[in-house]
Structure 1
């Protein structure tokens, strides 16, 4: 009899446990996918609300809703949703500058079973017809353009490279465009020489790297004169990364080429009080078979001074590269770059790092 009572109590406890497990809320969405179909971009933001029902026996609490991209903004039922009651997860999709098909997910986290629900919105955005302002957002005294930058990207030191930029005359008169402060390695012209009202033209730039006499990332700034007049901020920026052309070297020449090695490439000065300086010497060695030429050394900020002991390193020899970091005006974590450009085919551009922490002096 006693055994029977023990078994009965155990069975009752198991039943209570099962009941306790079933009191979790159960979230059930009417649909987990919504297709917006084809949207016109100019119609703006589109909203859809996913409806759900609490099929469980305790309130649903939505803890978080996260979308897969910034183009989708979610909202949801903030108050607990009682058993048998309805709630929502609302999503707003912005089609601006997002032409073509889309498939975005919305992740819903709650105290329900399951704890995570994935919703989807799909559709296709029909792009709006672009206006002159869309195509040429930047303005210089009535001359419109997409931007004012000519990125030449990588240019070999013996190369001549061309780039063009489409421009638009947004005035009611014929326009001329000329340029000032043009260096010898650049040629720039407007094609055609005059732009009729509300018409397009091209600015063509020819970059002769052999005349630049420089290495690495370089930038030039040209004044733009519209109808002979210059206004502040009316400038073109022309950038290039000038590299050496090692493709012309034979196998024999490559075998005899210089090789650059550093004992270390990172200097951590630890902690400095603002205004203090840190000095370090990087040791560089030529492990190749011909002279190593240091073409250029460049820092990422004016706070770092560099002075190579020698710019020509014979085969098998070494030299020192002294670095001084000035923490004046600096605060917090620092990570500065020093770029060393050489004629070594396998390491023509090497980045060194100077890093550490700058703290404010203790106030007395």
Structure 2
């Protein structure tokens, strides 16, 4: 055996010895069990806890640096002081079953000065759902009238559609009530079924949306006042939303083949870094690669800090146009991500998202 090989062998043996020695002297958390099953319990029982106890079987104090749960429904507590060799410590897990019926299986990750540094505990069980109250089923309250929500969504509505949506309501008072609506736009109609609700009676708000009367595109919201017994109280408002899209279903194959086609040279603008109060400007170029007029139905920014100025609303086949965007950083700080929606009559890609992003820093002070 050469001297070099002998030397390397000695180093390897010594390194292994030192490693084993270090492991032998490291603190050790010895748990009786690393898993606990709460079995089955009721949601109304509230917070449920279990304390995992351990003994430090090493020769150095155990120091727990951090304990993290896999979800916000589990709150951990633990021994904050160093645990001397031979002494006991704990990690306590508390599970909140509120609005979380059914089985669960959650982990608690412990980071300590042990070897290995990570220890994982686990709790499980099954929550029996409590009986829903009127307040649970109808969480929005308006002068004795309870609603499932104060927002009625029609989701996607074609511009030629007349669509209906309903919302369940409940009279939680001890008197009959009538429900009416104010500030109802022409494209909406609402009625109560039945017209009057007796005490503890269920009913429905039936709403009809006529998109042809709205004369708008994209995501739109209307705000209505709710009258209970012909009286309006501040805050008693109902929002109605819809995503208005163009109906291309009647187009023939020939019409589709000769339709407009939108394409943006670039759909992302990163302005880098600017100082708060400065503007960032960019011009997006859009082309019509189709065979008929491309019509810009609507442009809309995700916040008022972005101004949009299309140079024209109609782009001829084979031609291009520009959309100038100005981002105003006043009152902004940190990373910014803003979206600009461009809606056209392109039957294949009628809604295009443009993105403006960058970082806004505070002005330097002397």
Q: TM-score, normalised by structure 2?
A: 0.89
**Counterpart of 2:285?**
283
Q: Which residue, out of 43, 60, 74, partners 1:41?
A: 43
Q: What pairs up with 1:1-364 in 2 under 5 angstroms?
A: 17=18, 18-359=20-361
Secondary structure in 2 matching 1:281: strand
Task: Write the distance in 1 (CA, Å) between the matches of 2:321 and 2:97.
Answer: 58
Secondary structure in 2 matching 1:38: strand
Structure 1 stretch displaced more, 20-29 or 311-320: 20-29
Aligned length: 357
**Counterpart of 2:7?**
none
The alpha-carbon distance between structure 1 residues 48 and 188, as it changes in their structure 2 partners (threshold 3 A), is: same
Cα RMSD over matched residues?
Answer: 2.5
1:272 Cα offset (Å): 4.4
8 Å contact from structure 1 (residues 26, 114) kept in 2: no
8 Å contact from structure 2 (residues 23, 115) kept in 1: no
Structure 1 stretch displaced more, 92-101 or 246-255: 246-255
8 Å contact from structure 1 (residues 177, 224) kept in 2: yes
Task: Write the distance in 2 (CA, Å) between the matches of 1:357 and 1:20.
Answer: 47
Task: Write the distance in 2 (CA, Å) between the matches of 1:133 and 1:185.
Answer: 32
1:270 Cα offset (Å): 4.2
8 Å contact from structure 2 (residues 161, 210) kept in 1: yes
The alpha-carbon distance between structure 1 residues 69 and 357, as it changes in their structure 2 partners (threshold 3 A), is: closer
Task: Write the distance in 2 (CA, Å) between the matches of 1:362 and 1:207.
Answer: 52
1:316 Cα offset (Å): 0.4
1:300 Cα offset (Å): 1.9
Q: TM-score, normalised by structure 1?
A: 0.90
8 Å contact from structure 2 (residues 218, 343) kept in 1: yes
**Counterpart of 1:3?**
none
Task: Write the distance in 2 (CA, Å) between the matches of 1:67 and 1:108.
Answer: 9
5+ residue gaps, structure 1, are: 1-9
Superimposed CA distance per residue, residues 120-174 of structure 1 (whole angstroms, 9 cap, x where no aligned partner): 1111111111111222221112111122100111111112221111111121111
Secondary structure in 2 matching 1:114: coil
Structure 1 stretch displaced more, 266-275 or 109-118: 266-275
Task: Write the distance in 2 (CA, Å) between the matches of 1:199 and 1:356.
Answer: 54
Secondary structure in 1 matching 2:54: strand
1:357 Cα offset (Å): 4.0
Superimposed CA distance per residue, residues 242-269 of structure 1 (whole angstroms, 9 cap, x where no aligned partner): 1122344343332222111112223334
8 Å contact from structure 1 (residues 261, 284) kept in 2: yes
1:353 Cα offset (Å): 2.5
Secondary structure in 1 matching 2:60: coil
The alpha-carbon distance between structure 1 residues 79 and 360, as it changes in their structure 2 partners (threshold 3 A), is: closer
Task: Write the distance in 2 (CA, Å) between the matches of 1:202 and 1:30.
Answer: 56
The alpha-carbon distance between structure 1 residues 53 and 329, as it changes in their structure 2 partners (threshold 3 A), is: closer
